[in-house]
Structure 1
Amino acid sequence: MEKLINALKDKESRMIEIRRYLHQHPELSFHEKETPKYIEAFYKDKDCKVETNIGPNGLKVTIDSGKPGKTIAIRADFDALPIQEDTGLDFASQNEGVMHACGHDAHTAYMLILAETLIELKSEFNGKVVVIHQPAEEVPPGGAQAMIKDGVLDGVDHVLGVHVMSHMPAGNIYYREGNVQTGRDFFKLKIKGQGGHGSSPHTANDSIVAGAYFVNAVQTIVSRRLNPFETGVVTIGSFDGKGQFNVIKDSIEIEGDVRALTDETKHTIKTEVNRLADGLEAMFGVTCELDYHDDYPALYNDPEFTRFVIDTLENANTDAIQSIERCEPQPPSEDFAYYAKTLPSTFIYAGAAPEDGTIYPHHHPKFIISEKALRVSAEAVGLTVLNYLK
């Protein structure tokens, strides 16, 4: 463990260099072409097995100690977002309208250097390490499902992941056992009425009125259908009803986002959205076409493995990790949840708030992180791997 810490400290500048290169060259989910090539080239001539085209553009790297033992997988995603960067950084995105606004460039950078270091140390542990370089985390159905289908978890006992967080203080690791991130669904509702002249609403059937009722009524799912101790959110993000001011539209389209901390709550919300759509037809005499998509499940951290990870870090002698704290569940969704539904897994967080105190949320054009989070992430994952395989 001491060798790992010293090596990562010596290589910290390379981590940052890699992260900045990747930040300049972001690629969108399911369209990653150059990033997988860059990752594959990094492992050239290194003593490991590299498999490409796992799922949509993913890579599986196996570090085999040559001695019998357990197998742990560690995962980092590498896709970016359709956002025009507005950070003013010297290494800002060179790809118009595409930005690493969630920290996946940092994930890949720390993982590459950590993997290199584990390869150098593999004579000192037993078993295997599987490095999952995953594309397409940001866009459903995500990259995890396809990689699992292609066998990325074959023979693996546990999976560990980490995410840098711009709103958490740099130098700290945060964790929580049990349900830690919400699951996500989304839906599109098309309401068809009958168009007409604004002066004669009695001869038409106003789809906007029906849609407005739905927007208000859907909020009662959370307030009147969920247990007060359950976590659920329904957001209407789009109401497409634009038309002429004196014309009653014959149809509109509504799009919504659903988040819930358990899959059971997700199912309840889905049932109620369908019920409301059916009710609109009876109440307003309209026709509803509901397209409802079950998206990422809720992310569940295995309590026993989470405790192992935290005990490992609390007993480690490192100056990079300043504090280890239990956090509240996080509202965003994460397709790491698919690994956690397959194997006992843990997803932790590395604080990455900028030192100047200017904090922008993930997916913001001005999103910036403290690069201290790279070595913190690498040490947290690396120390856990070594302790697990000793």
Structure 2
Amino acid sequence: MWDSLFEAIDSQYENMVKTRRYLHQHPEVSFHESETASFIADTYKRLGIPYERNVGGNGIVATLKGGKPGRKVALRADFDALPIQEENDVAYKSKNDGVMHACGHDGHTASLLGLAEALLPFQDQIPGTVVFIHQHAEELPPGGAKAMIDTGVLDDVDAVFGTHLWATAPLGTIQTSKGPFMAGTDSFTIKIQGKGGHGAQPHLTKDAIVIGSQLVSSLQQVVSRRVDPLHTAVLTVGTFEAGQTFNIIADSSTLTGTVRTFNPEVQEVIIAEMEKLIKGACIGNGADYQFDYQKGYPPVINHPEQADLILQEAGKADSSLQTEEVDPSMAGEDFAYYLENKPGAYYFTGAQIPDHTYPHHHPKFNFDERALPHAAKTLIQAYRSYQEQNS
């Protein structure tokens, strides 16, 4: 049955491409994916697979109960886009101004829908129950995962798997790690209130640009001098806004940035050390400040046993696939919430276009569509391996 199923998934390739390109032309940003949700729901309605809409927001959950006894396993795909103006010159370019599928979520959705259609003729032969989780709002915290989980979508699920089409990994590669895989993603805002004045009279001011500049530099010492070098962390200042014109000393400035960690203790060290440095720089220069630190998605921590299933058995789905255990990525994903609740694993499906080096979230992002069946086949292979391991 399984070999026939994998052939059926391959036969869905053109349909997956068609679905992906339609979604790519009609992207919707996080929490506003109503048309995309309707498209997904209409697909399950056409297939006759039971589904629920508006799960935790715009989320959709479909369920295919197999004809043989087994475990209940969830497979997840996200479907939101990003507020980016597309610069690709392709026939399926985004029709929505300023919105683009620049991370591959259109492909995730196409793969999971294609898998559902390929599975349907084999329903009586499938052990257990497949839960198709179509999640909204991955790109924008607080995200859609937690809200969907809070509705109970995982309550009677035994395990959960997901994949991300990865445009910087070679086509035909499957990458994951047994443990930390993607970082926790926090954000911060620092507002400095000094005293402005004439550019010719700096001694009468409290220069918010100078204070902010000191912080940009000194904050880099948090990771290099306050965090154990055996622990991984990133602190990045992404924006610095201040000033109005060339001859006025700014009275205020605002810095924003991100912190990435895998360890909650490291996260707390960074927050405390940032507060000390900000307080010292501002109070020492007679300025006031506001420090707003927002904890975002937790790190994606794969369960070793389920990650090992991916590494050891993904090749059974397609002999051309090669698995690779890789170092964790400092990018983030709210799939972390699923893994906090149930055993499972997340992995990358290589989708790199040769000589196309644009990364995720770039206006010219794109991926090799031949990876679509790879994603579908490895997801159902993870399902199969888990069923066999726990039969």
CA distance in 2, matches of 1:201, 1:96: 45
Is 1:59 aligned to 2:89, yes or no? no
Give SS of 2:257's match.
Answer: strand
TM-score when scaled to structure 1?
0.95
> Residue in 2 aligned with 1:170?
171
> Residue in 2 aligned with 1:360?
358
Structure 1: unaligned runs, 5 residues or longer:
none
> Residue in 2 aligned with 1:23?
24
1:192–1:250 CA contact under 8 A, matched in 2: yes
1:179–1:262 CA contact under 8 A, matched in 2: no
> Residue in 2 aligned with 1:216?
217
> Residue in 1 aligned with 2:348?
349
Shift of 1:70: 1.4
Is 1:288 aligned to 2:286, yes or no? no
CA RMSD, 1 decimal? 1.5
Give SS of 1:147's match.
Answer: helix
> Residue in 2 aligned with 1:258?
259
CA distance in 1, matches of 2:366, 2:46: 34
Structure 2: unaligned runs, 5 residues or longer:
none
2:68–2:125 CA contact under 8 A, matched in 1: no
Shift of 1:322: 2.5
> Residue in 2 aligned with 1:48?
49
Aligned runs of 1:65-214 on 2, under 5 Å?
Answer: 65=66, 67-214=68-215
Shift of 1:191: 0.5
> Residue in 2 aligned with 1:381?
379
Shift of 1:284: 1.3
> Residue in 1 aligned with 2:367?
369
TM-score when scaled to structure 2?
0.95
CA distance in 1, matches of 2:190, 2:281: 11
> Residue in 2 aligned with 1:6?
7
Shift of 1:101: 0.8
2:311–2:324 CA contact under 8 A, matched in 1: no
**Paired residue total:** 387
2:306–2:386 CA contact under 8 A, matched in 1: no
Shift of 1:186: 0.6
Shift of 1:239: 0.8
Counterpart of 2:39, as a letter, is Y
1:47–1:63 CA contact under 8 A, matched in 2: no
1:359–1:368 CA contact under 8 A, matched in 2: no
2:297–2:333 CA contact under 8 A, matched in 1: yes
1:180–1:299 CA contact under 8 A, matched in 2: yes
CA distance in 2, matches of 1:318, 1:296: 33
1:246-288 residue CA offsets vs partner (Å, 9 max, x unmatched): 2222211111111123333222212211222222233112111
2:188–2:256 CA contact under 8 A, matched in 1: yes
1:138-189 residue CA offsets vs partner (Å, 9 max, x unmatched): 1111111111111111101111000111111101111111101111111111
**Percent pairwise identity:** 43
CA distance in 1, matches of 2:46, 2:198: 72
CA distance in 1, matches of 2:54, 2:17: 26
Is 1:38 aligned to 2:36, yes or no? no
User: Is the alpha carbon distance of 1:371 and 1:300 closer, same or farther for their aligned partners in structure 2, counting shifts above 3 Å?
Assistant: same
Counterpart of 1:125, as a letter, is I
Counterpart of 1:381, as a letter, is L
Give SS of 2:127's match.
Answer: coil
Counterpart of 1:324, as a letter, is T
2:208–2:252 CA contact under 8 A, matched in 1: yes
2:67–2:125 CA contact under 8 A, matched in 1: no
Shift of 1:317: 5.8
Give SS of 1:120's match.
Answer: helix
CA distance in 2, matches of 1:318, 1:245: 62
Shift of 1:98: 0.8
